[in-house]
Amino acid sequence: MKMNRNSGILGSILIALSVGACDDILTVSDPQAYTSSDLDFALPAIANGVEGTVHEVMDNFVVYQSLLGDVYQHTGTWSGYDETDHGRFQYGTSAMDGTHNSWLRARWFANDAADRITRVMEGAAATDPKLAQVKMSEAMADLMIGMTFCESPLVASGPTATDTQNLEQAVANFGEAISAAKAANSSEFEYASIAGLAQAHLLLGNYASAAAEAAKIPAGFSYDAVFNEEDRNWVVLVTTKGFNEAAGLMYKWWPKIDKTTTQSSYMRDPLTDEPDPRMPVYFDGEVATDNETPHYSQYKYALENADIPMLHSDGMRLIEAEAKYRTGDYAGMTTILNTLRAAVGLTAFATPTDDATAQSYLLNERFAEHFMEGRRRNDLHRFGLMKSVFAALNGGAGDSERPATGRPTKFSMSDSEPTYNPNINNDLTQRCLPKT
């Protein structure tokens, strides 16, 4: 059960957002700014465009999340990657600015689209899947903002709000999306919204609620960010051999990778040393574009049109496992983890008897199941592990360029939002940036 409408979303984005359509129906390129009533006749394109706007920033998100965590390292010449990798960025210099602005645009676009659909379709909107689609997309933007940034406004031109408040808004908006999807008899948007709600509850620490929602998601479900030949997957373009090679797998993982000249090797499980098919990598002995660093490529996304999972059933099982971990039910947690491991042919874990071991099992599985999906940085942040992880990294390799103390654990909002939003004080000293 995979939500993937590859054929329609990009085209709809181009229709809904491009300049110069026939008869001047579409006259603006900024989805935040369109006002023409002629767009009322393009509701399907608008709804697809809203969802596509959420999708199109996922690849950039994955790269930067991985660089700030302990997954990628900078191997090229791009200063934004270098600053993120070494934790040197601050408010006003973060290369994630564009990603924040894009998700804000998606949120405002979704809100406008919902109003437009309701106005044009009137009573029929309540049972139309397009309303569920845009409400789900709005909630998804809330979720990604709250996961990634330490603050962000909740509404257009509104005051700043904390990451927690953005996640709370995601919970409310996913609830509306679920209701809309049920009314429209749209199981795909209903499942995506339920999975998003589970994720939001997890990040808020509402573990019982998170597990209850996650349990509703059937095996095989995946909600993906869609890419194609025109809108290419940036993860592939900057992290894979044969392309830009501006980022590669961090050196701490190199000993766990079988060096091969084929594109079919895997990272070995850090706990059992078994090749893990969930983590495909590639190394041919050559260096990256910096002409210095051996380049270990990800190979989860082998093609430029590869889609990126945003929410999936295996991730839901991990949410259920974490809920059991949080209550001290290590046996229940291990049962779930071992089911996931058995599905890919890995040795089962024995039930741990202490918290440190249980946590290592859980985070190991989260690393593997969410490999190249941009979740590792957030896991290090919410478990309070960024400092200890990078301290161990430094101790093992003498890496003074990636200090364990003072490293950011989340990104700051874009500097353009306070610049143009009159309700946010654009004072650099007041902008949040959680650090170890």
197: CATH: 1.25.40.390
Is residue 358 one of the residues assigned to a domain? yes
DSSP 298: E
Alpha-carbon distance of 68 to 241, in angstroms, equals 21
CB 237 within 8 A of CB 227: no
Residue among 12, 8, 10 at smallest CA distance from 26? 12
pLDDT at 434: 86
What would the DSSP string read from start to end of 64-84?
A: HHHHHTTSEEE-SS-HHHHHH
Per-10-residue mean pLDDT for the chain, 436 residues long?
A: 49 38 36 52 89 94 96 92 90 83 94 92 92 97 97 94 97 98 96 98 98 98 93 92 91 86 82 94 90 93 95 98 98 98 97 98 98 97 95 71 90 90 81 84
pLDDT at 248: 95
pLDDT at 355: 98
Phi and psi at residue 409, to the nearest 5°:
-110, -10
Q: How many domains does the chain have?
A: 1
Is residue 270 one of the residues assigned to a domain? no
Is residue 247 one of the residues assigned to a domain? no
Is residue 405 one of the residues assigned to a domain? no
Predicted structure pTM score: 0.90
CB 46 within 8 A of CB 137: no
Is residue 422 one of the residues assigned to a domain? no
Is residue 147 one of the residues assigned to a domain? yes
CB 295 within 8 A of CB 248: yes
Sheet holding 308-312, edge to edge: 2-3, 222-225, 308-312
Is residue 37 one of the residues assigned to a domain? yes
Alpha-carbon distance of 195 to 141, in angstroms, equals 14
Is residue 339 one of the residues assigned to a domain? yes
pLDDT at 11: 42
Residue among 93, 83, 203, 92 at smallest CA distance from 143? 203
Domain residues for 208? 2-230+308-394
H or E element, residue 52: helix 43-55
